[in-house]
Structure 1
């Protein structure tokens, strides 16, 4: 199995824990405050991670194009997190997390349209199953 696939599964596992742990952390406070505190921790942890793993000479590789696209990604991540935390504060984590995974379908469509990645039959069927699951969840 390729390393990136292992990384994706590890990411999936941590993301699953993240939602449940976040819901516990939101007890008695607003989702906005909880997200702010969490994001401060993420910032510190990422600085520590980068200081241990990113060679200083790599900073020379950073272009304005990188900064602009990563900044745009930060804007969409921020919007996603704001609404995700509002949703898990008010709703069931199990339902919110499943609906949130509908982002896979959006990523599939955008990767085809913008990045010109191939949409294979397995990807198309997987996306269709996700949409079907979203319809089932939203009606129940």
Structure 2
């Protein structure tokens, strides 16, 4: 049913931690500017990942990476930072149960961008799932 490569386990864990992120962030940003909260969160992420890379022996010289890698990881970092800043701002003024589903519309956008930029070709069954996610986002986001 699921791929045996382990990707599903990691993706499922990502979903669990992403859900906890929304809950913890909603509680943590009360009375704090959302941009400052994002900066604090980002600093903690940097520390945790640095420790993880060091402890698992995965450190290598990042300056030896190709320029294309730096460019696209840099663009990804910029997109992530902008996403987090927008997400925290939305959480500060909206309900987590509404903000998170709209944020997860990124699932639909990833599929569309993957077709446009990566040449991926989802099967009709996969497009149905993507459409259902989009419909679910709309139902959850506009619950009131």
Identify unmatched segments of 5+ residues in structure 2: none
CA distance in 2, matches of 1:58, 1:122: 43
- Give the aligned length: 140
2:99–2:141 Cα contact (<8 Å) kept: no
CA distance in 2, matches of 1:5, 1:27: 34
- Structure 1 residues 35 and 62: alpha-carbon distance in aligned structure 2, compared to 1, 3 A threshold: same
Shift of 1:62: 1.8
- 3-state secondary structure, aligned to 2:19: helix
The equivalent residue for 1:10 is 13
Shift of 1:61: 6.0
Q: Stretches of 4+ moved more than 3 A in 1?
A: 54-61
The equivalent residue for 2:140 is 137
- 3-state secondary structure, aligned to 1:114: helix
The structure richer in helix per residue is 1
The equivalent residue for 2:32 is 29
Shift of 1:139: 3.6
> After superposition, where does 1:97-136 map in structure 2 within 5 Å?
97-136=100-139
The equivalent residue for 2:86 is 83
Q: Deviations over 1:92-129 (max 9, x none)?
A: 01110011110011100111111111211222011111
Shift of 1:2: 2.6
CA distance in 1, matches of 2:44, 2:15: 20
Q: Does 1:63 align with 2:53?
A: no
Q: What's the TM-score, normalizing by structure 2?
A: 0.89
Q: What's the TM-score, normalizing by structure 1?
A: 0.91
